Amino acid sequence: MKLSDLSHRLAQWLAGTGPLAEIVISSRIRLARNVAGFPFLSRCSEDQRRQIADTLQGAITAAGVLDDPLTVDVEQAVELDRQFLVERQLISRQHAAGSGARRMLANGAETVALMVNEEDHLRMQVLATGLQLESAYETIDRIDDAVEKRVAYAYSGRYGYLTACPTNVGTGIRVSVMLHLPALKMTGEIEKVFQAARDMRLAIRGLFGEGTEAGGDFFQVSNQTTLGRTEKQIIQDFREQIIPDIIQYEKVAREALVDRKTDVIDDKVFRSLGLLRCARLLSTSETLFHLSLIRLGVHLGRIRDLSLQTVNELFLFSQPGHLQKAAGREMTPDERAKARAEMIRAKLN
């Protein structure tokens, strides 16, 4: 598998086919691990960083946990490729912007991605479409076991898996879901959701941009506590306590919009569709805004000739790195605005 093979392909976790995919775009579980006997990265020499990277890459390869593997030397990769990987959520922004020996190994389906030398020596993630936390954990747990047979992790009986930042220590687990909440945003009830999530000690942030406002209707909710609870408890709390409520609120809000404000919602949805079908220049934020409404329209059955999957594709392919990869060259923001509009017109007409 090569990086260029991915540029016209939808990542499996964006297929829009998983449970509750109309609201839960994707589920992610990430584990943080460090190799025993080495300092954390802030105290590593370049030589040590390289040793760690080689050790882990060797162990992961020998473990045979990645089907049709894709390996990227992030240190050597050009900026455009790193941005492309960030957009596909295969690496974090931090990993893209870092320095020194660092790598990424993924399976061909892009459901598993392992970052070597990010904040910790190893960060392993499983991404799944819709709400599928339990099966995502089973997968990551199995991979963790296979790697751990070949590399000793920094671990203490008292504190568990030892991580560079104490906020990850213990299980080293980060459970997140990416949510699409346009109706709650429209009715202004989103603030209540934020508050409820914070009260449950969950972190919530806006996606596709900075802060909770940017990017509009997409939010990522994650656990913050990693110590003193088992992985299963953490997932269960997350799965049972707050996420079903948020999903339920969004469902009710969507139904209420259709029942009571049919004309208003139809007007919004079809204006967005019309705009994206005709526009000649589109910025990222404008695209996100309209795609979000179209996605809502598809789920509500107002727009019948588009699938969630097509809309998800547009989200992915309209990002700057993807547009440039598809064009095979770097582009200015103005050139991208034109290419974005062209790509979207071609898909929607």
Residue 159 engages another protein in binding (rule: CB under 8 A): yes
> What's the closest the beta carbon of residue 166 comes to another protein, in angstroms?
6
Q: Out of 61, 100, 134, 229, point to the residue binding another protein (CB under 8 A).
A: 229
Q: Which is nearer to another protein, 156 or 332 (CB)?
A: 156
> What's the closest the beta carbon of residue 60 comes to another protein, in angstroms?
16
Q: To which residue do tokens 């025993």 refer?
A: 36
Residue 145 engages another protein in binding (rule: CB under 8 A): yes
Q: Which is nearer to another protein, 44 or 257 (CB)?
A: 44
- Say how far apart CA 217 and CA 208 lie, in whole Å: 10
Query: What type of residue is 88?
Result: R
Strands 173-180 and 218-223: antiparallel
- Say how far apart CA 109 and CA 100 lie, in whole Å: 27
8 Å CB contact between 20 and 128: no
Residue 198 engages another protein in binding (rule: CB under 8 A): yes
> What's the closest the beta carbon of residue 47 comes to another protein, in angstroms?
8
Q: Out of 119, 217, 250, 313, point to the residue binding another protein (CB under 8 A).
A: 119
Q: What is the largest CA-CA distance in the chain?
A: 64
Residue 206 engages another protein in binding (rule: CB under 8 A): no
Residue 270 engages another protein in binding (rule: CB under 8 A): no
Length of the chain: 349
> What's the closest the beta carbon of residue 267 comes to another protein, in angstroms?
35
Contact range with another protein by CB under 8 A, out of 33-41, 86-94, 250-258, 268-276: 33-41
As to burial, measured by CB atoms within 10 angstroms (0-12 exposed, 13-18 middle, 19+ buried), residue 258 is middle
Contact range with another protein by CB under 8 A, out of 6-14, 21-29, 197-205, 267-275: 197-205
Tokens (6 digits) for 199: 């009260």
Residue 241 engages another protein in binding (rule: CB under 8 A): no
Residue 158 engages another protein in binding (rule: CB under 8 A): yes
Q: Which is nearer to another protein, 137 or 317 (CB)?
A: 137
**What is the sign, positive or negative, of the torsion defined by CA atoms of 267, 272, 277, 280?**
positive
- Say how far apart CA 231 and CA 228 lie, in whole Å: 10
Strands 160-161 and 155-156: antiparallel
As to burial, measured by CB atoms within 10 angstroms (0-12 exposed, 13-18 middle, 19+ buried), residue 2 is exposed
Residue 195: which of 229, 227, 242, 237 has the closest Cα?
242
Tokens (6 digits) for 210: 């900075």
Q: Out of 154, 265, 276, 323, point to the residue binding another protein (CB under 8 A).
A: 154
Q: Which is nearer to another protein, 43 or 329 (CB)?
A: 43
Residue 228 engages another protein in binding (rule: CB under 8 A): yes
Site residues for another protein per CB under 8 A: 34, 36-43, 45, 47-48, 119, 141, 144-145, 148-149, 152-162, 164-167, 169-171, 173, 198-199, 201-203, 224-231
